[in-house]
Amino acid sequence: MDSESLARICAHLVADKKAEDIVAIDLREISTFTDFFIICSGTSEPHLKAIAGELRDKLKEDYDVKPLAVDGYPLSQWVVADYSDVVVHIFHRDKRVFYSLEDLWSDAPRLDLQL
């Protein structure tokens, strides 16, 4: 599976768990460590846990794709799932505003997700 397909699948999976403000940042031309960031928000710690769990379970069951690493916990209000070519950031709303990854990567194009 190519990285853009994986990014789209990840975006749809988090959307299925009602993640908010889903953005896909295309880093292929400006980064060597990953091709895409998927950034989304959850409304509570249980919501973050549900989003991260759905992503992990569905990618494994349906596509036999496992993360290289998952860091952070719902309690920290930021969970990062590293799938090598796609890194998924699941934030609580307040933490997302604080870290503002979209601003840090503002020069990168956005992928039209059509969710």
Residue 90 lies in a domain: yes
Cβ atoms of 24 and 12 closer than 8 Å: no
Q: 65 CB contacts (<8 Å, ≥6 apart)?
A: 1, 6, 59, 83
Residue numbers of the domain that contains 42: 3-104
Give the model's pLDDT for residue 72: 85
Give the model's pLDDT for residue 115: 80
Residue 110 lies in a domain: no
Residue 71 lies in a domain: yes
Which residue ranges in the chain fall short of pLDDT 50? none
The pTM of the full predicted model, rounded to 2 decimals, is 0.94
Give the model's pLDDT for residue 44: 93
Q: Tell me how many domains the chain contains.
A: 1
Residue 111 lies in a domain: no
Q: Which CATH number do you get for residue 58? A: 3.30.460.10
Residue 27 lies in a domain: yes
